Structure 1
Amino acid sequence: METARPNSSGRDRKTTRRTGQQLGRTAPDPGAARLLGAQHRSSSRARRVIVGGLAIAGALVLAGCDSVAGIPGDEPAPAAVTTPPAAVPTIHATSAAPAPSAAAPSTGAVAELPAAVQRWANDLKTSTIAQLQAKCWTIAPKNVSDMYSDEQPILAALAQPGTATEDSVTWKTRTTTVSVERAALDTGYACPRVASAGADIAYNDADARHTVRRYLARVVGTPLDAADKDGTYPLVCKAAPATWDPAGTGKAIAAPLANNPGKLTGVTKFADQEISSETLRGDYLAVEVPVTNSAGVTKTRTFTLVAGEQGYCIGDVSP
């Protein structure tokens, strides 16, 4: 960065005075000299302001690096950032997804993209990762960043015929798998999950932590999105069929939280940046988070979740 440059240095003024004397000209009058001196002092102050401003800005950037605790990328999605038209990437016509159909068939081949997936695919072409994180609030922000960073393979997969099952609709190429949950299709905007190398879709610890975050956000009255309601986006495991067995006893029962949904009644806030997780037996996972009740008492609660065909669901919460 260039700093402000003085209009005339001391060395220049001396040269000018000597040259004037040598040529027999009158030396600059005192008023002009004072004006030049003031300009020099003003330029020096400008340099100090610029350097000081850079130092303050640098300190703020360094402080920002440590301003968020917890697991990086696991926090709620940031507010959407508007992208200038010039910054929108150019998408070649060959990568455009097919026109949408109203809905996907219950099972079997899917010739066209369901409308809910097409809306997301259109946004993938023009949105930043921050914007996609805000729109795809059902998915952990870090996973959105990881899965959607390379749009071309995703759009190439969506251009292929898909396959519908009772739980999901999936599109594949040799290098990429794109899958969307059937329940998401009914919401009008479906954010799919993506796996590379044609692998099957899998859910990770960040998904489990984000499920608990969404559940607690509902409990305290501040859902991540106004549409995040249990009727549309269930987060608790179903009571039937009775398949709950985190200890591996061989005697499955109904998920306890399904039969006692009021376990966290009275909770007013939770420590979002202190959520942690630990793998248990098989597909089960424990998530711990400090919660505070209306009396101001804070206690760490343990949520037990299990991974299924459509992600993690919460089956139990410690007392």
Structure 2
Amino acid sequence: MASRTPIGRLRRAVLAALVGTAVVVPMAGAARPAAVPAPPPVSLGPLRAATCTTDVAARFAANRDGVLAAERTAAGHGDRRRAAALRALADPARGLLSFDGRDGGRSAEVFGDLCRAERIAVLVPGSDTSFEQYGRLRDGAQALLQRLGDRSAVVAWLGYPTPSMLSFSVLTPRRAEAAAPTLRAFVDEVAAARPAARLSVLCHSYGSVVCASAAEGLPASDIVLYGSPGTGVDEVAALRTTAAVWAGRGAEDLIGRVPHVRLRLPFVTVGFGTDPTSPGFGARLFAAGDSAHSDYLRPGSVSLDSIAAIVAGDSRA
């Protein structure tokens, strides 16, 4: 019964912080580097269904120019690691729907042909994702696209300053709440560009808190939560979404050891509440096999097969 008292809840919140650090330190290695200066992004026109191919090509070209300008600024600032990451991002073979190099950096990279896709997945990453630590997000997007096959597109949406697992911000919903309008606007734009496509939003770790904050009115068929510490609500109904909400957690994901509590303090809320894979939350569960916290989109994994089936509309609760 002690855990139900305010002191007990506080102890569990502190335990969540300690366990969360134990989960992430081996994976992230280091906190996200400090932001470096970058020019403001170029002004981009809207994506329209009638001119989707032309609009996307124009964005790719404009954003590549923006990346190269940010690379030059980073190099001049002496941040060689950021400059190298931006040079890789400026590869002509890559396609950015959006880019902003300021305040740590934002981008949305497309894999596949967005304008011909019948199914589109938007990946929303969790903590410690940046241009310098972008490999897992990109690898996951490519693996999912390969598993989905033709007439599919995957967008890696790095549209917010993800929290570091070595900071207090990863324990609160503030960054997620700030990111939600941006995610909602982006998904609205993708849906408008390809209205006939089946659209799913895939939310990893802290990204599931972002998706929960953006869920109301989101034009998606599915919202998929995996490796989630919680969402900030106690049940699916509180998300106020028409999308099917799915949840899964791998057997080797240490996030399962984090207590699912939410403690409201005078100036901040700590923790994210109910486990999305618990019966009381009400999500549709999918098989995640033995996935560890960063392995849900690993080629050949049970979790990748399950998530691909959801995106394709082939899965059943």
Q: TM-score, normalising length from structure 2?
A: 0.29
Q: Which has the higher contact order (CA 8 A, sep 6+)?
A: 2
Name the structure with the higher helix share: 2
Mark the structure with the bigger radius of gyration: 1
Q: TM-score, normalising length from structure 1?
A: 0.29
